[in-house]
Structure 1
């Protein structure tokens, strides 16, 4: 039986929902984030605030929430010519992928997370990748996650489980999942404190949170919010 987990935590809606899910299931949960020269580096501050608010608003979870780790991955920004790591407009590439795709990002994240989990004695890696409501990134696919789980387990000679709670649900269902885990309090925490906008905009406040409102990440989050509010799932009781 698995009792410990390491959550890949960016400070956004998806990873915050995954963190709440892990805190509801595992006895000890740690978090890991990455500074890779992203344009929306404001998320690095947002993640600190989210962790503080989770501890303050949900005491039962606070008792399970352990250390946070942030790794410097500036080298990823150096080798990536993308709109997430360079000052360029969002566009579609000839490959059919948006230029927000950072090649190898999730593969590198998972490899380093697995190395940290190995050292910290953590059994499960939790990541918010999704194949249902996403931009077509190949490193978010279920097949990629399964392949990484096999490769990491073999390479470290230890069973490593990669858990993807959002893989088969859309953004509206992700909002509903947050409500089921922590009630309206968690939904409002996500609205107010998490960051999604690729441009790092914290000046414009919308019903679904802060952001420019036009980048692909904002558009996806806003559409999911609208669908969720039209037909929200029954909320669960707060664990606080």
Structure 2
């Protein structure tokens, strides 16, 4: 059976992308990164639940250096997570070159496992403005990965959500039977989602527009 590496954060987008890979007939190898993010414990819990639902082989990889360099509200406690709504530009929740590093490690796992695809749940149009979610960046990474691996290794980076809106992703999740109650999007809280960070706002907007109830608990639900 063909194999796909699925980078699964524990969030909704990566879970949906992994289920899409499963629906395409891939054997799933799930990869998760603990990088000192504020919600590391909750994200790992969600990753394990999602991976079990996919019957996936798993890799849990620790990357402590993100915490050491800081420079992001997700990894540096001295930088506050913004809660006033999404604004133009790159937000302080951007983690420097995170997806580039994740994809590089996933490529090494793919070569070892004989996988032909890497699935990543990046969203360009409705994201928080992260440069490493852009389609052009993913295309460049795919070229670099194939130049930097064995001649017989050919890896495609699949981004099935890249041009979707959040409401489309929610609808796709329901269609595929993704256990959305196992996913977590909040940038700063682990027991109840805050409801006001950029990621919570995008998730709540998506559920509302899709006309579907979000079953995870929130501290605040605006509107």
TM-score by length of 2: 0.87
Q: What secondary structure sits across from 2:29 in the alignment?
A: strand
> Which of residues 174, 190, 209 is equivalent to 1:201?
190
Equivalent residue for 1:75, pick from 58, 61, 65: 65
2:197 is matched with which residue? 215
2:83 pairs with 1:84: no
- Tell me if structure 1 keeps the 8 A contact 2:122–2:159: yes
Query: Residue in 2 aligned with 1:28?
Result: 27
Q: Could you tell me how far 1:142 is from its partner in structure 2? A: 0.1
1:50-104 C-alpha deviation (Å, 9 max, x unpaired): 333x2xxxxxxx5xx3310011101122113210001121349xx9310000011
- Equivalent position of 1:9 in the other structure: 8
Query: Hey, what's the Cα distance between the residues in 2 that align with 1:171 and 1:22?
Result: 19
Equivalent residue number for residue 150 of structure 1:
143
Structure 1 match to 2:216: none
| Runs of 4+ more than 3 Å apart | none
**Cα distance in 1 for residues equivalent to 2:103 and 2:168:** 25
For residue 70 of structure 1, give the secondary structure of its aligned residue in structure 2.
Answer: strand
Cα distance in 2 between the residues matched to 1:96 and 1:226: 25
CA deviations over 1:4-23 (Å, ceiling 9, x no partner): 10100111101111111111
Other structure's SS at 1:86 match: coil
- Structure 2: how far apart are the matches of 1:4 and 1:111? 17
Q: How many residues align?
A: 205
Query: For 1:156, what is the secondary structure of its paired residue?
Result: coil
Gap runs ≥5 in structure 1: 55-61, 204-210, 231-240
Conservation of the 8 A alpha-carbon contact between 1:35 and 1:72: yes
Alpha-carbon displacement from aligned partner over 1:3-48 (angstroms, at most 9, x marks no partner): 2101001111011111111111124111000011001112111211
- The more displaced of 138-147 and 19-28 is 19-28
Q: Aligned partners of 1:179 and 1:3: how far apart in 2? A: 25
TM-aligned CA deviation for residue 128 of structure 1: 0.2
Moved more, 211-220 or 173-182: 173-182
Does structure 2 conserve the Cα–Cα contact (< 8 Å) formed by 1:6 and 1:30? Answer: yes
User: Equivalents in 1 of 2:175, 2:39: separation in Å?
Assistant: 29
TM-score normalised according to structure 1 size = 0.81
1:236 alignment counterpart = none
The answer to whether the 8 A contact 2:51-2:57 is kept is no
**In structure 2, C-alpha distance between the alignment counterparts of 1:9 and 1:224, rounded to whole Å:** 19
Judge conservation of contact 1:43–1:200 (CA < 8 Å) in 2: no
The answer on whether the counterparts of 2:71 and 2:96 sit within 8 Å (CA) in structure 1 is no
Q: Which residue of 2 aligns with 1:43?
A: 43
State the shift of 1:145 in Å. 0.2
